[in-house]
Amino acid sequence: MENEVKKKFENEKLVDLLPISYWYEKIHSIYDEQNKLFAYTALDNIHKQYLELKQSLENRLLQDEDWFNEIEDYLVAIELMRKSMLENDERTARICNFYLDEKNDYFKTIMVEIDEKYEIKNPL
């Protein structure tokens, strides 16, 4: 039964659902008025990818894991970032930007570990 579950998700790598660092780099555009729209697009992409990640984790029935609530907090932080951008609150935006980038690296580590658990090892 465990192999059936693994087989169901073996080709769906959670780490691939996480945003690439490119989007976090583009959020820095909020400090340049000309590129602010692109920063919003980057934040929207990060938000979308985290919603997809959350759904995938729920599909694997992993929502009871301790770190799952941290993903919920992350989604709240994205909204706080959006609000600070709209209000031109540069200080809060910088703090949120740092948090989002650092926490993404943390989630990457967790998702790699989960992906490894779902790999089907072929005995020789």
pTM of the model: 0.85
Which residues are within 8 A (CB) of 81 and not within 5 positions of it... i.e. 6 or more apart? 27, 43, 93, 96, 97, 100
Which residues are within 8 A (CB) of 110 and not within 5 positions of it... i.e. 6 or more apart? 67
Which residues are within 8 A (CB) of 116 and not within 5 positions of it... i.e. 6 or more apart? none
- In which band, very low, low, confident or very high, does the pLDDT at 19 lie, cut at 50, 70 and 90? confident
Above 80 in pLDDT, residue 14?
A: yes
Q: Read off the pLDDT of residues 72-121 as tens digits, 9 standing for 90 and up.
A: 999 999 999 999 988 989 899 889 999 999 999 999 999 999 998 888 66
